[in-house]
């Protein structure tokens, strides 16, 4: 029984290692692939909230961070922001591919503020978040 268990752990480890090595060779991880996707700028990112706001040509998008990585305000990011779901994005500013979940998309400025207040409420009367102003 121990031999089977040890062998299965070894095979899983080798499979994960080879999968990680092969990931670098997938065309989706080239910069040209990512630059062909939708472009956005992170206009709000807070260390106390797992959600951040990305402004694209179509409006504001609320994205939930996965894991310990979250882009900083002002970062240029590429990916599919035009529908809900979990997917990979590319942070052009730091050269990192990361995972996030788009929860809301194509929002106006006020709708994005309200959605962010729903996900990460601020306590206090009349307190509103201000997003970074982008230059277009």
Q: Is the same domain home to 19 and 47?
A: no
What b/e string do you get for 52-83 counting C-beta neighbours within 10 Å, with b at 16 or more? bbbbbeebbbbbbbeeeebbeeebebbbebee
Please check whether residues 49 and 111 belong to one and the same domain. Answer: yes
86 assigned to some structural domain = yes
Q: Which domain holds residue 80?
A: 37-119
pLDDT at 35: 94
Count of structural domains within the chain: 2
Please check whether residues 46 and 101 belong to one and the same domain: yes
The answer on 114 and 55 residing in a single domain is yes
pTM score, two decimals?
Answer: 0.75
Residues 44-96 pLDDT 10s? 999 889 999 999 999 999 999 998 899 999 999 999 999 999 999 999 999 99
Interval 17-34: pLDDT, tens: 544 444 444 455 688 999
């Amino acid at each position: 029984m121990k031999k089977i268990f040890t062998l299965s752990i070894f095979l899983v480890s080798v499979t994960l290692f080879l999968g990680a090595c092969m990931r670098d060779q997938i065309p989706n991880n080239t910069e040209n692939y990512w630059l062909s996707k939708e472009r956005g700028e992170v206009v709000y990112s807070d260390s106390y909230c797992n959600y951040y706001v990305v402004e694209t040509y179509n409006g504001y998008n609320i994205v939930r961070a996965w894991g310990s990585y979250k882009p900083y305000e002002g970062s240029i990011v590429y990916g599919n922001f035009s529908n809900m779901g979990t997917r990979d994005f590319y942070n052009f500013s730091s050269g990192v591919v990361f995972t996030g979940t788009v929860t809301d998309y194509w929002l106006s400025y006020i709708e994005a503020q309200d959605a962010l207040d729903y996900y990460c409420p601020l306590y206090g009367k009349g307190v509103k978040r201000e997003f970074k102003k982008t230059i277009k």
